[in-house]
Chains A and B, each alone.
Chain A
Amino acid sequence: MEFLNSILVKPFSDMFAAPDFLIQVLWEGLVAGVLYALIALGFVLIYKSSRIFNFAQGIMVVFAALTLVGLHEKGVPALLAVPMTLGVMFLLAVAIERVVLRPLVNQPDIILFMATIGITLFLVGFGELIFGGENKVMITEQLHIPTGSFEFEPFGGFVSIEQKDVTAVIGAVLLVGGLILFLNRSKMGRAIRALGDDHQAALSVGISLSTIWVLVWFIAGVIALATGIVWGARAGVSFALEVIAFKALPVLMLGGLESVLGAIVGGIAIGVLEKLFEIYWGQPLLGGNTETWFAFVFALIVLLFRPQGLFGERIIERV
């Protein structure tokens, strides 16, 4: 009885006892969720157009952020460093397509997945070699991102919302909106979706596989840079950022591997739920740090009921 009370009643009574704290927790979860969603978006884009399960998305975030900070340290003005970093991400996309993907066309999924793990290791070593392994500070002020915080006092409590988090959420919304417009309205976007539906049919109507792959990996690089700036502003730039790449996996599975909408909904759901679980169940009952596994177990439970994820394309098996 005591036990049931502690898992079923007490967390909720805690929530209602301190609604200001609950709002703070929900906001933190939402911001983390938006970032998970951004990384997952990079995955989805690549998976949609090439059926490659791109494990390197997480390290691309780190690499983009490191390049930006590293260029700034070398004396490049911040606002010039951003386009230069985009240039580096473009070169990276071309290199990956030329060196890794082109020779591996038509290989089984697992081989391509392993190749992206190879890319991850290569970029980790390369990044550490050039920029050093130590933690760096994101150049938030130089990029004109506001750093203050809004403070509210709802229900007689106290809630503090950092302005850079607000910027992050707005930036993410704009990025996602632009991406959806691009995918659904532009010629290139249609080509990407066509390639995702059927490689051979797309090739036969004259869509260039290699151009689209470079384009898709470059867009993933742009998303990686945006994620890197936002996450770096919150937690500093280091290879520890890589762990958020793992968080993007359950987000993807939950939302469905092909769905842009799924990535966003899944990301926010997982960000909010894992914070709630950690604060109200994890820390008092399980000794804390449940954020490392909650997302995976939650996604697994959802998948048991919907094997294709919440918004994934229905898996139809033909014989």
Chain B
Amino acid sequence: MLYRTAGQFKTSYYADHALFPVRQDAMLLGFILLLAFVVFPMTADEFVFKALLVPVLIYALAALGLNILTGFAGQLSLGTGAFMGVGAYACYKLVSIFPEMNIVVAIALSGFFSAAVGVAFGLPSLRIKGFYLAIATLAAQFFLVWLFEKWAWLYNYNSSGAIQVPNIDMFGVTVAGPNASAVVQYYFVLCVVSLITLLSINITRGRIGRIWKSVRDMDIAAELVGINLMKAKLSAFAVSSYIVGIAGALFVFLWRGAAEPVLFDIPLSFRVLFIAIIGGLGSILGNYLGAILIVALPVVISALPSALGLPVSSATVEHLNTMIIGALIIAFLIIEPHGLARFWAIIREKLIMWPFPH
């Protein structure tokens, strides 16, 4: 009864092209934003910010970047972790070379470095397709992580080989580093993520987005109707790596606080890929649903035995955790290969029809 699209007439093209043509969708989004901007910061404690809210947002952003490349433009990438690393190291160098630079500017600029690297490793996509292309991004993955380890200039020649985030102030408030408070970091991440999500929704439904989708669906047909494949694929690599790079900078500066090269190794790439696929390829909403699932699941599983009073050692819990996530990935793929976003679409259809079956 609540979800009715009947009676919402559009009398102009402008209204029909609105971001949310259905009133209930806009209201739902408003409610979620209210939760994210007002209710969560007032109720959550330090642990919830650090273990759930901030990582969900950052992983969702990284998955959004990957989704633009894989879900919208159809180019498989297994190197997301390394591109996040490029963003993080670029941001670290920018902050240490120009200490007065505003952190927002530094993060925004660091995305360009990972975009450049992404385009360089995206060049083979013009010749190599499908699984063969995975090798290009895997080459990026292993080569870049090796570079983070060996190129001492990147981590300012310190002996630990890791990068440590200094305290960074913005308008008198500490936003990054050991002294920053969790709420401030949460708001910072939330604002960046919301802004980029808004931009990507508009990019993917605009001209470039339609070009990407046509390349994904059939690149030969796209070429025949006059789409420049080189521009389309490379722009997808650039935009995707830009977003992934920003996610990487946020990952280290606003969440982890420190990073070693190992952090950006292949498990991170796979985690982001899981989020994108379980959430749903070619969907923006899916990244958030997938990130919530993948981030919350280990927290829930490790909290469960002690909550139930079961005597299980922490090592066993960790192994069970890996096993359950593996099994869940398979289960989700079997139940709904198009991801959680499709679930929401089905629920929405049902709600519109309810109480009638058809």
Contact = CB atoms under 8 A, between A and B. Distances in A.
Nearest to B315: A133
Contact of B319 (A99, A129, A296, A307): A129
Interface of B is mostly: helix
A110 interface: yes
B138 A307 contact: no
Interface size range of chain A in the complex: 35 or more
B94 interface: no
Contacts of B284: none
Interface of A: 53, 99-100, 103-104, 107-111, 113-115, 117-126, 128-129, 133, 246, 249-250, 253, 257, 286-287, 289-290, 292-293, 296-297, 299-300, 303-304, 307-309, 315, 317, 319
6 contacts: A53-B131, A109-B130, A121-B329, A125-B326, A129-B320, A304-B124
Given A109-B130, A293-B143, 7 more contacts: A104-B337, A108-B337, A118-B333, A122-B323, A125-B324, A293-B139, A307-B132
A109 B139 CA distance: 21
Contacts of A253: 131-132, 135
A307 B321 CA distance: 39
B142 A296 contact: yes
A102 B245 CA distance: 38
A17 to B, nearest CB: 27
Interface in B181-230: 220-221
A303 B330 contact: no
What 4 A-B pairs are tightest by C-beta distance, nearest first? A125-B323, A121-B326, A122-B326, A125-B322
B138 A111 contact: no
Contacts of A121: 322-323, 325-326, 329
B326 A296 contact: no
A115 B333 contact: yes
A109 B327 contact: no
A152 to B, nearest CB: 34
A100 B330 contact: yes
A115 B150 contact: no
Contacts of B131: 53, 109, 113, 253, 257
Contacts of A317: 220
B49 interface: no
Contacts of A103: 334
A104 B139 contact: no
Given A257-B131, A286-B150, A114 B322 contact: no
Given A110-B277, A114-B274, A246-B266, A119 B330 contact: yes
Contacts of A114: 273-274, 277, 329, 333
A118 B132 contact: no
Contacts of A249: 134-135, 138
B323 A126 contact: yes
A303 B319 contact: no
B337 A111 contact: yes
A299 B329 contact: no
B220 A319 contact: yes
A297 B143 contact: yes
A115 B330 contact: yes
B19 interface: no
Nearest to A299: B135
Contacts of A53: 131
B76 interface: yes
A315 B129 contact: yes
B330 A118 contact: yes
B73 interface: no
B124 A303 contact: yes
B115 interface: no
B12 interface: no
Contacts of A309: 132
B128 interface: yes
B354 interface: no
Given A125-B323, A317-B220, A319-B221, A111 B127 contact: no
Contacts of B334: 100, 103-104
Contacts of B132: 253, 257, 303, 307-309
A297 B135 CA distance: 8
B330 A125 contact: no
Contacts of B138: 246, 249-250, 296
A175 B142 CA distance: 31
Nearest to B220: A319
Interface string B146-178: 100110000000000000000000000000000
B270 interface: yes
B107 interface: no
B43 interface: no
Contact of A289 (B146, B266, B315): B146
Contacts of B143: 293, 296-297
Nearest to A121: B326
A173 B303 CA distance: 50
A289 B150 contact: yes
Nearest to A113: B131
A278 B125 CA distance: 28
Contacts of A290: 146
A75 to B, nearest CB: 24
A128 B319 contact: yes
Contacts of A297: 139, 143
A281 B57 CA distance: 43
Given A121-B322, A129-B316, A319-B221, A299 B127 contact: no
A159 to B, nearest CB: 30
